[in-house]
Chain A
Amino acid sequence: MAMHPQRKQRLLIIVFILVVAGLAAGLLGYALKENINLFYPPAEIVSGKAPVGKAIRAGGMVQKGSVQRASDSLKIRFVVTDYSAVVTVEYEGILPDLFAEGEGVVVSGKLAEDGVFYATEVLAKHDEKYMPPEVSAALEDSAAKRDMEGASTAEQNINDPAPAEKAGL
């Protein structure tokens, strides 16, 4: 089953091409990491990695209980979190159907000096879970029961109970 030496050489050339192409793509991907990332998570915005006053995107989860809507316009204010930092977002316009508290969001706009992100577009980022409504309701029921049992010891938690898993970042 030995390979003909010439064919073996051609095989080695192909492996070489693949390794070089992979290396080139890897270096390119690494060098352009900042540009390939679609958005900045709140932690990078708070730490000053995101530019101020430039068109950028921010992404994370809409913090539960943070959504404030204006009564006379489409203006909305909410807090985006990655469970290590938070950014306040202000937006005026139509929201996607899947926009909700505790769900993922990607907003584009500009970060102001005061740390507020003024968005011109809000996109919903959903997770990779699909299930029928009954299953979701049953899961929520059992989660609520578990919370009740642990309520005496657990502190009141505004954030999601399983942040890292649900962040979807």
Chain B
Amino acid sequence: MSIWTTFHKWGSPRWFYQFSGRLLPYLAGLSLLLLIGGAVWGLALVPADYKQGNSFRIIYIHVPASAVAMGAYMTMAIAGAIHLIWRMKLAAMVMKAIAPIGASLTFLALLTGAVWGKPTWGTWWVWDARITSVLILFFLYLGVMALHQAFDNRDAAAKACAVLVIVGAVNIPIIYWSVEWWYSLHQPASIRFIGESTIHPSMLRPLMATLSGMYLFFAWAMLLFTRAEILDRERNTRWVQDLVCGVQEQGVK
């Protein structure tokens, strides 16, 4: 099977609906396990930080929420590009599904950041490059959601949103390197891709658990929202009607 056959198969909403349905329980179970396990591990079992004491423990929510908020945006931008290039409708549905999830994660990142900032920095909020660029990310997500609502025509909405999403993708590297490029209150990244991370391994392990748990949660939510969008758009097709009627008959029996 060539790569293009796989690609086109994935582009079929019906096939996507059936395949994702089988993935959902595994994603939900594993993400719940990692998020709850990692949170208990990080909040109760890991020693306090030498400088910040217990307030550092919010890292186990703050970093996963921030990282996945950015990862979600990149996923949305790639979906937008696929939609623009191949006119794949499924990619447009994925793009639409991601926006509210990304907005929620970004809000969580900003909220936990403020709650963390008060006891450590001494302020809830400061207009430094990192915090401001993440606020822009939040507005980008809200903008994508609003733009979807503004169009009556779905294809026109998807096209406009895809362009907005792609232009906004420029913000992602700005967020990541903002703490290196400009003087900011926010400290540089602790998890390094190259070289040793500056967070002690005993503290890093539960963070990796909640981080991967958050990625799986995002995958789960994205599939769930996309499936809802598929059912809505394909409601006049035979397979959706069969599916819904079948469910109703089962319910009656």
Contact = CB atoms under 8 A, between A and B. Distances in A.
Which has the most chain B C-beta neighbours within 10 Å: A36, A41, A168? A36
Contact of B182 (A37, A99, A126): A37
Contacts of B198: 127-130
Contacts of B81: 11, 14
B189 interface: yes
A17 interface: yes
A7 interface: yes
A146 B252 CA distance: 79
A37 B50 CA distance: 29
Contacts of A96: 120-122
A7 B187 CA distance: 42
Q: Is the interface of A mostly helix, strand, loop or mixed?
A: mixed
Given A38-B183, A38-B185, A132 B122 contact: no
Interface string A91-114: 000011111000000100000000
B122 A124 contact: yes
A38 B60 CA distance: 27
Given A21-B167, A133-B47, A37 B183 contact: yes
Contact of A127 (B4, B167, B187): B187
Contacts of B123: 121, 123
B174 A135 contact: no
B127 interface: yes
A136 B181 CA distance: 29
A128 B120 CA distance: 13
The contact size tier of chain B is 35 or more
Nearest to B173: A22
A18 interface: yes
Given A22-B170, A38-B129, A124-B121, A132 B199 contact: no
Interface string B161-198: 00100110111001000000111110111100000001
B56 A130 contact: yes
A46 B232 CA distance: 64
Given A14-B166, A131-B203, A132-B200, A39 B183 contact: yes
A96 B51 CA distance: 13
A25 B181 CA distance: 13
Interface in A1-54: 1, 7, 10-11, 13-14, 17-18, 21-22, 24-25, 29, 33, 36-41
B202 interface: yes
B185 A123 contact: yes
A53 B129 CA distance: 24
A124 B51 CA distance: 12
A122 interface: yes
B86 A7 contact: yes
Contacts of A29: 174, 181
Contacts of A24: 170
A127 B127 CA distance: 18
Nearest to A95: B122
A129 B59 CA distance: 12
Interface of B: 2-4, 46-52, 56, 59, 81, 84-86, 119-123, 126-129, 163, 166-167, 169-171, 174, 181-185, 187-190, 198-200, 202-203
| Nearest 6 CB-CB pairings of A with B | A96-B122, A136-B50, A132-B47, A131-B200, A38-B128, A130-B199
Given A38-B129, A122-B122, A134-B47, 18 more contacts: A18-B170, A24-B170, A33-B182, A37-B182, A38-B183, A121-B123, A123-B126, A128-B187, A128-B198, A129-B198, A130-B59, A130-B190, A131-B199, A131-B200, A132-B46, A132-B200, A133-B47, A133-B50
12 contacts: A10-B84, A25-B170, A25-B174, A37-B182, A38-B184, A41-B183, A125-B185, A126-B187, A128-B187, A132-B200, A135-B50, A135-B200
